Amino acid sequence: MDGAFDFFRDLPRRPKRPERLFFGLLVGSPTGAELDECRDQVVRDSDLKGARLKTERLHMTVHHVGDYERLPPRFVYAGRQAAQAVSMPSFEVTFRLVTSFESMPRRDGRPPRWPVVLPGEGDRVFEFHKILGAAMERYGLKIAEHFVPHLTLFYASRPITPRAIKPIRFLVDEFVLIHSELGLTRYNILDRWRLKD
């Protein structure tokens, strides 16, 4: 029996994919339907091909906690502690424009992709970013001061010309801590917190 499973030794090991931890704002059903319609319109008008994100994965990243080979539990714990310290009423973000962000080179050598995004408007989203960031720092987490609120609709093979859209309003009444398994398009919601009026 010693050699019964020796054939497994010749199989290639599946590479370990990095794991990401971040705070985000997930889009609810009514807004998600509007975003789907907007995305489909942009694709048709621009004759684009690209990877569309599933509606349930549409989100706005508020703070990127970090990328890791293996997600450290201490950062998840610190993130939860920071989130519990946040006190803020619900607020609204408005999307009035669709545009492209600069493409990023891909490690696998494939052609670059341009994120097609909706920049978010509203003073309260910047206030929320600041409040959450201060709480994260108190619990030993690093933060980025620079914040460009946006929601990525899909990744295109080329950039698009910026254009105005019919305003889409997104009510933010909760935020979540997400564990993303990079490369697998898989989000694991570790916890969520309501914003109280």
- Residues 44-92: pLDDT tens digits? 888 876 556 778 888 999 999 998 888 899 999 999 999 999 999 999 9
Q: What is the overall mean pLDDT for the chain?
A: 85
Q: Is the pTM of this model over 0.75?
A: yes
Burial class (CB in 10 A: 0-12, 13-18, 19+), 5: exposed
Q: Tell me how far apart the alpha carbons of residues 38 and 35 are, in angstroms, rounded to a whole number.
A: 5
Closest CA to 19 of 82, 59, 65, 62: 65
Q: Tell me how far apart the alpha carbons of residues 155 and 116 are, in angstroms, rounded to a whole number.
A: 6
Closest CA to 165 of 99, 92, 115: 99
All structural domains of the chain, each given as residue ranges with its CATH number in brackets, are 18-194 (3.90.1140.10)
Element (H, E) at 172: strand 163-172
Listing DSSP states for 89-116 in one string gives --EEEEEEEEEEPPPB--TTSPPPBEEE
